[in-house]
Amino acid sequence: MPQIHPTAIVDPNARLADDVTVGAYCIIESDVEIGPGCELRPNAIVRRFTTLGEGNLVDSFCVLGGLPQDLKFDPATPSRLRIGDHNVFRESVTISRATTPGGATVVGSRTYWMANSHAGHDATVEDEVVLTNSAAAGGHATIGRRAILAGGAGVHQFTWIGEMVFMQGNSGATAHVPPYTLLADVNNIIGLNSIGLRRAPDIRDEDRRQIKEAFRLTYRAGLAPREALAEMDDWPDISPAAAAFREFLRKVVSAEPPFDRGLCPHRIGRRGR
């Protein structure tokens, strides 16, 4: 049986695995499902239509599955928050459920959310993402696998952040950020995430070489994004990592409203290189 503190409030229609631990003063609403090995620390709240996989840690004062912060939203709308496995949600993390009937805000697995970080309605946060203190992703945003959002970083609604992007502290993105890049200030690509690429166990020397060439074509060759994409389409042997950069670019140039936000520029300046 789950270990439920006597002061916690757990709706009888919530489904908890046998080894779930629920701390003091927690609230778990109806239509919630919590998988094996999850722990809710005191004062955590899991709201209706939220699903957690296995091995998740939900720290104090988190609110998972809260109503979307959208003035048009009808609270009667049956929408969801779906969370994968082995995620850590530190103090006061908030994640909203989706706005569309049957839709879902989605969190992958092995993500780490530091205190006061947030994801809005209909957002997607992929595997192994790190959101540092007070980082936030707006509604309908996508944060790619292994991206890191440093303290106070913000992602505008309908914006895509590519795989292994590093957003510096207090930076902001209102346009799409391609994989493996560094973002500083607002919409300022300052180079590749070279340290992350060196540390990634699945990125080979040839991957790094091709990623550098893809970055050069996109940002330093004087080409329009569609022209850079056409150059990459002619490569005879493109690695999976470089192909991820190319396909992100293809997605950006073909995006339709409200996702037609364009690509973040590369500006040389005090923090550029």
The whole-angstrom separation of Cα 9 and Cα 12 is: 9
Q: Is 86 a catalytic residue?
A: no
Place of tokens 């620390």: 41
Torsion angles phi and psi, residue 236, rounded to 5: -75, -35
The whole-angstrom separation of Cα 54 and Cα 20 is: 9
Nearest to 24 by CA among 6, 10, 1, 36: 6
Catalytic hit among 84, 138, 139, 162: 139
The whole-angstrom separation of Cα 247 and Cα 227 is: 14
Count CA atoms closer than 13 A to 97's CA, side-chain side: 28
Domains of the chain: 3-197 (2.160.10.10), 203-253 (no CATH)
pLDDT of 267 reads: 77
Q: Is 139 a catalytic residue?
A: yes
Catalytic hit among 122, 144, 151, 162: 122
Which DSSP category does 240 fall into?
A: H
pLDDT of 176 reads: 98
Distance set, CA 42 to CA 90, 99, 180, 201, 244 (Å): 12, 28, 38, 37, 41
Distance set, CA 217 to CA 143, 187, 220 (Å): 24, 19, 6
Q: Is 151 a catalytic residue?
A: no
pLDDT of 270 reads: 44
**Sign of the C-alpha dihedral, residues 53, 56, 60, 61?**
negative
Check: CB of residue 84 under 8 Å from CB of residue 107: yes
pLDDT of 271 reads: 46
pLDDT of 257 reads: 98
Check: CB of residue 26 under 8 Å from CB of residue 44: yes
Residue 50 burial by Cβ neighbours in a 10 Å radius (0-12, 13-18, 19+):
buried
pLDDT of 268 reads: 60
pLDDT of 62 reads: 98
The whole-angstrom separation of Cα 197 and Cα 194 is: 5
Query: Other C-beta atoms within 10 Å of 186: how many?
Result: 14
The whole-angstrom separation of Cα 198 and Cα 17 is: 40
Catalytic hit among 65, 66, 121, 152: 121
Residues of the chain with pLDDT under 50: 270-273
pTM for this entry: 0.96
DSSP 45-84: EE-TTEEE-SS-EE-TT-EEEEPPS-TT--TTS--EEEE-
Check: CB of residue 265 under 8 Å from CB of residue 189: yes
